[in-house]
Chain A
Amino acid sequence: NAGVTQTPKFRVLKTGQSMTLLCAQDMNHEYMYWYRQDPGMGLRLIHYSVGEGTTAKGEVPDGYNVSRLKKQNFLLGLESAAPSQTSVYFCASSYRGTMDYSNQPQHFGDGTRLSIL
C-alpha cells in the first residue's frame, strides 16, 4: 500500500521556469492538500481540494495553481518560478468525516525539495 506518493522528490529550477508537482494517493480519500514548509517553520497550506473537480485557496496560494481532475491525483503548478518559492512541498490526503468538519487524520507524502535559482 503506497499511501501518498509525491513526484519528483527533488528539483532545481531557474527563475521563470514552470513545473508541475504530482501527488497521488491510493486510499480513496476525498480531501487532498498542498503545503509548503520553509526552514524553521511549520507547514502552510497552499491549496486544497474537497473532491474531484474542486479546488480552494489556502493560506499562501499566490504564485501556484492546482488541479484535481481525478480523485486520486492532485497537481501543484508553478507557472513562473521565483526564488521565494524555494521550499519543501508536502502533499496530504484524508477521508471526509461523517459529520461537518469532522475530517479524518491527514496522511502525508515524503515531500518534494524544490530549489529556485
Chain B
Amino acid sequence: GIQVEQSPPDLILQEGANSTLRCNFSDSVNNLQWFHQNPWGQLINLFYIPSGTKQNGRLSATTVATERYSLLYISSSQTTDSGVYFCAVVAGGYQKVTFGTGTKLQVIP
C-alpha cells in the first residue's frame, strides 16, 4: 500500500516563529487532508488539498501532486498550535485512507 512519511517527527518552536511541516507519499493520491490533533485528542480539519495552495489565517498548505509531497506552513506560531499534525491521503480504491505518523509540535512562550 501507499506509504506516507511526515517530517520532522518532533518540533519545538518559540512563540512567534514560523515552521514548515512536510508530508511525502509514495504513490499518486486522489485526495489529501491535513489535521491538527490538539492536546485533548480532538482531530480538527485544517485543509482538504489534493493539489494546489490554500490559506486559512496563519496556516497555509501546498500540495504538489506530481512530485508527491505536501507542505503545511505555520506562521507566527502560538501556544495553541501545539499538538500533533497529521496528513492523510486516499490513493487507488474507495476511501482507503492512510495517515502519516505525524509531526508533534510544541510551541513554548
A-side interface residues toward B, CB under 8 Å? 31, 33, 35, 40-45, 48, 50, 56, 58-59, 88, 90, 92, 101-108, 110-111
Contact = CB atoms under 8 A, between A and B. Distances in A.
A100 to B, nearest CB: 8
Q: Is the interface of B mostly helix, strand, loop or mixed?
A: strand
Given A50-B94, A102-B30, A105-B33, A41 B48 contact: no
Interface stretch (B12-20, B59-67, B72-80, B99-107): B99-107
Contact of A33 (B33, B41, B95, B101): B95
A107 B45 contact: yes
B48 A104 contact: yes
Nearest to A41: B101
Nearest to B91: A101
Contacts of A102: 30-31, 50
A107 to B, nearest CB: 7
Contact of A88 (B30, B41, B86): B41
15 contacts: A33-B97, A41-B101, A41-B102, A50-B94, A58-B96, A58-B97, A59-B1, A59-B96, A101-B90, A103-B90, A103-B95, A104-B48, A105-B33, A105-B45, A106-B33
B90 A44 contact: no
Interface of B: 1, 4, 30-31, 33, 35, 41-43, 45, 48, 50, 86, 88, 90, 94-102
Nearest to A106: B33
Contacts of A45: 96-98
